[in-house]
Amino acid sequence: MIIMKEFNNNRYIVTAALPYANGPIHIGHLAGVYLPADIFVRFLRRKKKDVIFICGSDEHGAPISIQAKKEKTTPNKIVNKYHYMIKNCFIDFKIIFDNYSRTSSKIHHKISSNFFKKLYDNKKIFEKESYQFYDKKYSQFLADRYIMGICPICRNKYAYGDQCENCGSTLSPEDLVNPKSTISKNPIYLKKTKNWYLPFNKYQDFLKEWILVKNKINWKKNVYRQSKSWLDNGLKERAITRDLDWGIPIPIYNENKKVLYVWFEAPIGYISSTIEWAHKKNVDWKNYWKNNNTKLIQFIGKDNIVFHSIIFPAILKAYNKNYILPHKIFSNEFLKLENKKISTSKKWAVWAHEYIQDFPNKQDSLRYVLISNMPEKKDNNFNWKNFQRKNNTELVATLGNFINRSIVLVNKYNKGIIPSPGLFSFNDKYVLEKIKKCPIHIENLLKSFKFKESIDIFMDLSKVGNKYITEEEPWKNNKKKIRLNTIIYVSMQIVAMLAQLSELFIPDTSNKMLKILRLKLLFWNQIKNRFNIICPGHLLGKKKLLFNKIKNKEIEYQLNKLK
């Protein structure tokens, strides 16, 4: 097990990938990026670390510009719609950032322009002319994805300029027979243009040392492997500007319609979002981004690995202003839906905002299922039947049932007051030991970024509780009062520990449980290695239902919706 080194560090920047504001977010985004980031940040806060959780919408680039042209609207209207929709979804799912910014903000434009300007002034970038495919009708240069034609290898009519999805060949637009624009469907032309390039090959040695030597053991295997494969192929120069009318104009006089390439400016969004936060809080952002004692932990999607492990660090290195580099880049594999790849364009997804409409106040059910199915080591699958089963058997029949049984016992036999225990039996001691060990197990797993296993440890504790009550049979008449009190005391210690631990995974439920128990949320060191979290004499609050069963017809509705 790789436990994160130097965990005693006290300052962290945790970033979550900037969602692209051309559509809503779905369960794949939540399971892949935002839930692991959220759990990790919650854990750091409970450990009393100085942590800022940074994100924002990524609002530039050709896809948004093209979508606007197709829908005869403006890019601004599109990004406004999705920025607020996405932002609200995060709030609904209790993924609370310290700052959720947007790359169309003034501050981001300013910071990104400064990056470009300094690279330009210091001759770290160069200009070069080239011929690129152009769509006359839409007056737009086309990225490879927007070019379609016949695959020269398998004759598939719908091969893209970068890849044929039928035979899997990697292609260039020049390879296609009869290449056409996917936007206007018209034939395309080569047109001369000029762009600015960053010579990434100049940073090859630096990145090799940094990734292959320094970070080899620290990074997740998928991140390491992809980065290494890029380095093995040799880094090349890449354009950092685009011919587009939507984006951050390059700060060079007389260069119209040239903007910064999204993958140049979007990662700078982590920095500008932090600066925006620091201005609001009146703190110095440099204490985070330019302080070698800060650990930068980035949670991203698998399709964005090299942009974070190679492109962004190379830009920071070229800019050379003492920015820290990512300490850890975390990426999950993909989540499938009903065994098929989630696809925004094919509308094969469960959208977060629609889930909330269909299952109001059941955010924790989805959080729970997504965390316990998290695609950590391999692609994993979400299916609605399994969602229903996990909700009904694990949340309702195990966790909810155990808590309910325990509280009923306190109310029935001790007027809602936690009783003093007598002597502990062998079984009591075994259970109390389990409670003590739980936060230690979870801590070790979270330090090695194992979220799925950590929620299993949590759920196992409620299974231990259910089993304990069933074995001890407190409702049997022949129990002496002192023995009954001891059983109730032990069960309530499990309940109290579950209330404390659940905050990491299912925060709404944790909140409800803490209210029922009339307890405050404790810091991690206050629950670590302890079993006596709720004291004898403590009076409970009002009982409340924690989970509801999900009915067959609700699941059928969702399955029909997919069709």
User: What CA–CA distance (Å, rounded) separates 215 from 207?
Assistant: 10
Q: Starting from the edge strand earliest in sequence, which strands make up the sheet with 177-181, in order?
A: 159-160, 147-150, 177-181
**Do β-strands 50-57 and 11-16 pair in parallel, antiparallel, or remain unpaired?**
parallel
**Residue number, 149 or 326, with CB nearest to Zn ion:** 149
Q: Which stretch binds Zn ion (CB under 5 A): 33-41, 61-69, 164-172, 400-408?
A: 164-172
Which H helix or E strand runs over 117? Answer: helix 106-121
Buried b (16+ CB within 10 A) or exposed e, 48-70: ebebbbbbbbbbbbbbbbbbbbe
Q: Which stretch binds Zn ion (CB under 5 A): 15-23, 31-39, 166-174, 271-279?
A: 166-174
Task: Please tell me whether residue 177 binds Zn ion under the rule CB under 5 A.
Answer: no
**Per-residue contact track with Zn ion, 453 to 472, x per CB under 5 A?**
--------------------
**Do β-strands 328-331 and 294-300 pair in parallel, antiparallel, or remain unpaired?**
parallel
Residue from 316, 268, 308 nearest 111 by CA:
268
Task: Please tell me whether residue 164 binds Zn ion under the rule CB under 5 A.
Answer: yes
**Residue number, 95 or 176, with CB nearest to Zn ion:** 176
**Do β-strands 294-300 and 147-150 pair in parallel, antiparallel, or remain unpaired?**
unpaired
Q: Which stretch binds Zn ion (CB under 5 A): 27-35, 101-109, 149-157, 498-506?
A: 149-157
Radius of gyration of the chain measured on its C-alpha atoms: 27
Which H helix or E strand runs over 195? Answer: strand 189-199
**Residue number, 170 or 339, with CB nearest to Zn ion:** 170
Q: Which stretch binds Zn ion (CB under 5 A): 26-34, 71-79, 148-156, 358-366?
A: 148-156
Q: Which stretch binds Zn ion (CB under 5 A): 145-153, 267-275, 342-350, 359-367?
A: 145-153
Task: Please tell me whether residue 148 binds Zn ion under the rule CB under 5 A.
Answer: no
Sign of CA pseudo-dihedral 429, 432, 438, 439: negative
Task: Please tell me whether residue 151 binds Zn ion under the rule CB under 5 A.
Answer: yes
Amino acid identity, residue 293? N
Q: Minimum distance from CB of 63 to Zn ion (Å)?
A: 23
Around Cβ 90, how many Cβ atoms within 10 Å? 20
Task: Please tell me whether residue 153 binds Zn ion under the rule CB under 5 A.
Answer: yes
User: What CA–CA distance (Å, rounded) separates 82 from 486?
Assistant: 54
As a whole number of angstroms, the longest Cα–Cα distance in the chain is 92
Residue from 65, 58, 27, 45 nearest 146 by CA:
65
**Per-residue contact track with Zn ion, 90 to 129, x per CB under 5 A?**
----------------------------------------
Q: Which stretch binds Zn ion (CB under 5 A): 154-162, 192-200, 508-516, 535-543?
A: 154-162
Task: Please tell me whether residue 154 binds Zn ion under the rule CB under 5 A.
Answer: yes
Quick one: which of 9, 67, 114, 156 contacts Zn ion (CB under 5 A)? 156
**Residue number, 169 or 425, with CB nearest to Zn ion:** 169
**Residue number, 166 or 184, with CB nearest to Zn ion:** 166
Task: Please tell me whether residue 166 binds Zn ion under the rule CB under 5 A.
Answer: yes
**Residue number, 151 or 296, with CB nearest to Zn ion:** 151
Tokens of 230: 């890029």
| Residue carrying the six token digits 């080899």 | 216
Quick one: which of 2, 91, 167, 177 contacts Zn ion (CB under 5 A)? 167
Binding footprint of Zn ion on the chain (CB under 5 A)? 151, 153-154, 156, 164, 166-167
